[in-house]
Amino acid sequence: MTELLAPAGSMEALKAALRFGADAVYLGGPLLQLRAKSAGFTFDDIAKAAKLVHAKGKKLYVTVNALANNDEIERLPEYGNRLSDCGADAAIVSDLGVLATLHRSCPKLALHVSTQASCTNYAAAMTWYELGARRIVLAREMTVDEIRKLKKNVPDDLELEAFVHGAMCMAYSGRCLLSSAILGRSGNRGDCAQPCRWKYALVEEKRPNQSFPIVEEDNASYILSSRDLCCIGLLDELKDAGVTSLKIEGRMKTEYYVAVVTNAYRRVLDGTMTVEEAQRELLSVSHRPYTTGFYHGELPNDHSNAGVYTQTHRFVGTVLGCENGVATIEQRNRFERGDALEVISPSLRGAVLHADAIADETGAPVEIANKVKAIIRIPTDLPLEAGDLLRKEIEE
């Protein structure tokens, strides 16, 4: 069975991933988790997450994939055992010392090798396997043919995982020093400032206060910024090549992003949505121009608009419940009475909630809903459920 693996940088995102069809979820903990601190779960929250995940027969993986220093290696035995006690099914690692330490001190915790380890060949995969790894998250630079050859030269019980959607770094498997060089914030320690996505201009050293724009398109240049990955049309190829886990990037993304992307990939895998329909659906979330990455060879040398984010829809609310023909909604972005709100739901497809009447929490009528996290009520005959999401098409 092919696993659909979704990200969670919050409990809301984790619940969305599970509700919209993820087979497994990955998140970060308090140590070496390679994302901003706000995306890291506490031990208590990891335990709660594991309980939710396992209740649905799914799996939970914890990222421990930053490069470790000496003091952190000394903390790993206790940390790994706490993750195991919390219910984590595996740790995702990239540092050789981290893997060796966890394998020795936490035998119950399965180990997955992160894409940060840049595993591009079967000899490297076999070395990780012999050291205790049971899954390889493949380097993003591999082609489908290279993955197929690697799979043929490793044991059947060594699983392969590949990214299929989300942001990519302008660096080899995400190992970049640009943020460190400019700001002293290391992307390899979970503190990247994403300077590859900034707008740059040319400055002559004797004229420090005069900048000259480097214009490619739309008054900006994004020569350092990569496009976003979207492989919704390559799923059968990747499965045929031996990939058993299809991974969505996005631990810094909202629950709306996680829900929409997970839902699209789930439906294509299940055969309930065409690739073309899913491609249109994936335009609704904030993204840079899409690419299929390196799976069919080198990336095209085209960075036009690569740093420009677009989306066709805006997330406006989460359904908290629906009783007696009235939906209770936690508002996220502005909408108005009379708006047609599209419903994102694993059980409903193509449903529209017409906001012909809006009331606030006290029952007072509202013309414009524009207070984030305000409680809103809308009459409806739709069978909405808690966890359904609402969005509004962005007008040109």
Q: Higher model confidence: residue 157 or residue 223?
A: 157
Q: What is the pTM of this model?
A: 0.90
| DSSP-assigned letters across all residues of 37-106 | GGGBPPHHHHHHHHHHHHHTT-EEEEEE-SPP-HHHHHHHHHHHHHHHHHT-SEEEE--HHHHHHHHHH-
Q: How far apart are CA 371 and CA 373, in angstroms?
A: 6
Residue 333 identity (one-letter amino acid): N
Domains of the chain: 3-171+225-291 (3.20.20.70), 313-393 (2.40.30.10)
Which pLDDT score is estimated for 217? 55
pLDDT bucket at 29, cuts 50 / 70 / 90 = very high
Long-range contacts of 38-46 (CB under 8 A, 24+ apart): 38/9, 39/9, 39/10, 39/251, 39/252, 41/11, 43/82, 43/86, 45/11, 46/83, 46/86, 46/87, 46/88
Which pLDDT score is estimated for 206? 82
pLDDT over 70 at 298, yes or no: yes
Give percent above pLDDT 70 in the chain: 92
- Mean pLDDT of all residues in the chain? 91
Which pLDDT score is estimated for 264? 98
Task: Read off the pLDDT of residues 303-320 as tens digits, 9 standing for 90 and up.
Answer: 566 668 899 999 999 999
Q: Higher model confidence: residue 306 or residue 79?
A: 79
pLDDT over 80 at 14, yes or no: yes
Mean pLDDT confidence for 346-373: 94
Task: Read off the pLDDT of residues 35-62 as tens digits, 9 standing for 90 and up.
Answer: 767 778 999 999 999 999 999 999 999 9
pLDDT over 90 at 112, yes or no: yes
Give percent above pLDDT 90 in the chain: 77
Which pLDDT score is estimated for 266? 98
pLDDT over 80 at 248, yes or no: yes
Task: Read off the pLDDT of residues 318-342 as tens digits, 9 standing for 90 and up.
Answer: 999 999 999 999 999 999 999 999 9
